[in-house]
Structure 1
Amino acid sequence: MTDPTALTSLSSALADIVARTAPSVVSVHSHRSYATGFAWKPGLIVTADETLADEGEVGIGLADGGRATATIAGRDHTTDIALLRVDAAIAPVRLTATVPPLGALSVVVATNRDTPSAALGMVSASGKSWRSLRGGDIDARIELDVRLRESQQGGLALDSTGEAYGMVVLGPRRVLVIPTATIERVATQLETRGRIARGYLGLGLQPVRLEDGIGVMVMYVDTAGPSAAAGIRQGDVIVAVNDQKLSGVRALAGTLGPSSVGAVVDVAALRGGEPVGFKVTVGERPEA
């Protein structure tokens, strides 16, 4: 027979966790969409980038029912993190770097179109770092078995002690958590620079199959870019970077993270079937 006292204690503990976190959680209204955000630092709110319109005013619904207007301080499409500036007194949440184990209970504290909301689920995947479909480096793979509405994206994922360990977003057929390590790394750069530096070769590429593997053909060269300066031309077929054979365009793009800017890379290519080599100083991708 189920012990009602145990269930009551669990219910009270979960309600207390939500109540302690809710003051740091806000609703975010951009164009016609609603999402959730949380206070990262005084005057700074982190939210899910995918939920923001490309332009226009961003409205903030505070936990006490008040309203405020925010501006976009910076955004990174590759990690789905956006940073907003707002003139409002919101208690920042304390983020923990702990990654919950597989099977652990998790509470999501968010909003649903200005209304506070909460959900209880389980960690269905907990693993190593991975790269998003847009090329962002995510420090841990965390998936939740929980139902999530669009407007709850940007909410906080809490462990069983009430510590916030990341931000929830909707992935393909699953709920993902962007972990604390990624949030701290990306939001810090957005606060200081407004954007994330990305490596830039100045090339338009297309994969081609070779006799001994896969290469990428240069379809376009930015005449003001680093590859043009190194001597790479349209029609060249790149086969390796720093002695590592390529498996496609995405593999090459994967080497162009923030730390690649300023690095000199050895590019091996074929020109008219003959091997050629270049030393390219990776530039910084210009703003779109």
Structure 2
Amino acid sequence: MTSPAASTLPSLSSALADIVARTRPAIVSVHSHRSRASGFVWKSGLIVTADEALADEGEVSIRFSDGTERAAQIAGRDHTTDIALLRVDTSTGAPISLSSANPDLGALSVVVAAEQGVATAALGMVSLVGGRWRSMRGGEIDARIELDTRLRRHHEGGLVLNASGEAIGMAVHGVRRILVIPGATIERVATRLETHGRIARGYLGLGLQPVELDDGIGAMVMSVDRAGPAAAAGVQQGDIIVGWNNEKLSGVRSLLRSLGPDSVGSIVDIAIRRASEPVQIKLTIGERAET
């Protein structure tokens, strides 16, 4: 009598191999100055890769699964969500369709990446699924997804597939864990990068330092950009910000994280202590200049 495992395991193995084979034409190697990573064909002429794995300067080249290598140009990059977009002739690659669905906790996943243009694959398990969150750099990520798998540095930027073969996101290194940048986040950020070349970020024109107060935490204004929106609103050096939009300030980091793309042009109410006196200021958030 044949055991269930004798038929189940070969079927699972064949299914996984088929998923990887169908994904290979979309996977590429990204070579930049002293840096190697993986990426995938998002649209015709456009490659998505992990921003952190992309060098800050120098030429960028793409190696496709058929061995073809072509020069690429950076179309845009967003450090806060770890997404970079490259322009290159993708005629030898195949665009991949990204799913906005989040995986189930405990579900199997496959990371398909590339090493010198040769496809690689790693099997893992979804170890955490959570809601929308902000990265340490202030980027808005649509879901917190972590994988229990191994990810080599060269494989960062590879595609994460679910057991049905759907591409659910991009694999990147987090702090002591492997994260998935979800498909919904990639679509949102990459679309803006394709159109504008960058992601707008809010700008106050202030240098801030956290300070402890008797009744909580404040942000002391250490410097003011004379041409910035805070100066125009009347914020002065030495002021202490204690409130933001009628809520008590919880810290400088939380304030900076609120300066996302959607904050540009919005008006905020800022509660300030100036020489121990309360001051209320309305400020229109500006757009941070590209650096």
Q: TM-score, normalised by structure 1?
A: 0.98
**Which residue is 2:265 aligned to?**
262
**Which residue is 1:21 aligned to?**
23
Task: Give yes or no for contact 2:77–2:83 (8 Å, CA) kept in 1.
Answer: yes
Q: Out of 149, 152, 161, which is 2:155 matched to? A: 152
Task: Give yes or no for contact 2:28–2:114 (8 Å, CA) kept in 1.
Answer: yes
Q: Provide structure 1 residue ranges, at least 5 long, that are not aligned to the other structure.
A: none
Q: 2-side partners of 1:175 and 1:182: how far apart?
A: 16
**Which residue is 1:173 aligned to?**
176
Counterparts of residues 204-243 of structure 1 (less than 5 Å): 204-243=207-246
**Match status 1:284 vs 2:272:** no
**Residue 224 of structure 1: SS of its match in structure 2?**
coil
**Which residue is 1:75 aligned to?**
77
Task: Give yes or no for contact 2:210–2:219 (8 Å, CA) kept in 1.
Answer: yes
**Residue 55 of structure 1: SS of its match in structure 2?**
coil
**Residue 56 of structure 2: SS of its match in structure 1?**
coil
Q: Out of 42, 49, 55, which is 1:53 matched to? A: 55
Q: 2-side partners of 1:52 and 1:104: how far apart?
A: 30
Task: Give yes or no for contact 1:238–1:270 (8 Å, CA) kept in 2.
Answer: yes
1:56: Cα distance to partner? 1.0
Q: Out of 228, 244, 252, which is 1:249 matched to? A: 252
Q: Provide structure 2 residue ranges, at least 5 long, that are not aligned to the other structure.
A: none
Aligned length: 288
1:113: Cα distance to partner? 3.3
- Return the letter of the residue paired with 1:219: M
- Return the letter of the residue paired with 1:215: G
Task: Give yes or no for contact 2:99–2:183 (8 Å, CA) kept in 1.
Answer: yes
Q: Which runs of 4+ in 1 moved over 3 A?
A: none
1:261: Cα distance to partner? 0.5
- Return the letter of the residue paired with 2:235: I
Task: Give yes or no for contact 1:265–1:281 (8 Å, CA) kept in 2.
Answer: yes
**Which residue is 1:129 aligned to?**
132
Task: Give yes or no for contact 1:35–1:113 (8 Å, CA) kept in 2.
Answer: no
- Return the letter of the residue paired with 2:241: I
Task: Give yes or no for contact 2:137–2:257 (8 Å, CA) kept in 1.
Answer: no
**Match status 1:10 vs 2:27:** no
Q: 2-side partners of 1:131 and 1:13: how far apart?
A: 35
Task: Give yes or no for contact 2:41–2:90 (8 Å, CA) kept in 1.
Answer: no
Q: 2-side partners of 1:286 and 1:202: how far apart?
A: 11
Identity of aligned residues (%): 67
What is the Cα-based RMSD across aligned positions, in Å?
0.9
Q: 2-side partners of 1:140 and 1:219: how far apart?
A: 35
- Return the letter of the residue paired with 2:83: I
1:112: Cα distance to partner? 2.1
Q: 2-side partners of 1:115 and 1:150: how far apart?
A: 15
Q: Out of 203, 206, 225, which is 1:203 matched to? A: 206
Q: 1-side partners of 2:206 and 2:101: how far apart?
A: 39
Q: 1-side partners of 2:273 and 2:35: how far apart?
A: 49
1:2: Cα distance to partner? 5.3
**Residue 135 of structure 1: SS of its match in structure 2?**
coil
Q: Out of 93, 96, 101, which is 1:93 matched to? A: 96
Q: 1-side partners of 2:236 and 2:63: how far apart?
A: 52
**Residue 3 of structure 1: SS of its match in structure 2?**
helix
Q: 2-side partners of 1:242 and 1:177: how far apart?
A: 32
Q: 1-side partners of 2:267 and 2:4: how far apart?
A: 65
- Return the letter of the residue paired with 1:31: H
1:133: Cα distance to partner? 1.1
